[in-house]
Amino acid sequence: MAMQDRAARTRRELIRCAAAAFEQHGFARTTLNDVCRRAGVSSGALHFHFDNKEALADAVEAEASAALHRAGEMARVRPSGALQALVDASHSLAAVLREDSVVRAGFRLSYDTTRTNGLPLSERWHSCVRTLLAAARDEGALAGGVPMRDAAVAVTGVTVGLAVLSHRDRRWAGQTSLTGFWRLMLPQLACPKAGVRPTPVHTASAAPSRAGGGAE
């Protein structure tokens, strides 16, 4: 294996192990020694890649940010309309939070009160939700009189809430939870005269996977 490949693999492994430590102990109580031990690398090897714990947390959050971006992008290219794209984006986000421990840790870090400079991932998700709702309105797919702000707050609130609730009990992050929310919410949002009726289930074939992923 070329040296570059080996360095890239070590870096990925350090991110994966830092994510696992943050998940288990929270940011404040995680030590670099713990991350080294989990990854089976020396302290020198860790410092070759990351200056400090904050830099490791930044890298974990960046993975979550990229996953959020992919969920939004995947949704944007759907031919079945913006409202279905929003349903699919929420399912994609929930799926990647269920399946990828690094992305999950990254989201958790973004609202860890012991970090002050975390990425505003929830705000980005809120912005993605607003964009897709505006696109749905422009397509004539939203029912008349739907308050855009209310809809964006409800969708963002419930997706963030289910993610937080799943920390204690994974069932909250299951596909049925989000499908249940959409089953109740879609009839309020969708214009009854629109051609294609959105469905509350995920119509995308697969959740977006991380480039070069493989964590958990």
In the complex, minimum distance from the CB of residue 182 to its own copies, in angstroms, rounded to a whole number: 9
User: Is the Cβ of residue 11 or residue 124 nearer to its own copies in the bound state?
Assistant: 124
Q: How many CB atoms lie within 10 A of CB 104?
A: 26
Cβ-based neighbours of 8, under 8 Å, separated by 6 or more: none
Nearer of residues 39 and 178 to its own copies, judged by Cβ: 178
Q: Of how many residues is the chain composed?
A: 216
Select from 189, 204, 207, 215 the one that contacts its own copies (CB under 8 A): 189
Which is nearer to its own copies, 28 or 55 (by Cβ)? 28
Q: How far apart are the first and last CA of the chain?
A: 23
| Contacting residues for 23 by C-beta, under 8 A, at least 6 apart | 101, 104, 105, 108
d(CA 10, CA 49): 9
Are the C-beta atoms of 68 and 82 separated by less than 8 Å? no
Residue 61 DSSP label:
H
99 sits near its own copies (criterion: CB under 8 A):
no
Q: Which is nearer to its own copies, 69 or 183 (CB)?
A: 183
14-53 footprint of its own copies as x/- string (CB under 8 A): ---------xxxx-xx------------------------
Is the separation of the CB atoms in 115 and 125 below 8 Å?
A: no
Residue 114 makes contact with its own copies by CB under 8 A: yes
Our finding on whether 84 is near its own copies (CB under 8 A) is no
> Using CB under 8 A, which of 10, 80, 122, 203 touches its own copies?
122
Residues that bind its own copies (CB under 8 A): 23-26, 28-29, 108, 111-114, 120, 122-123, 146-147, 149-151, 153-154, 156-162, 164-165, 167-169, 172, 177, 180-181, 183-185, 187-189
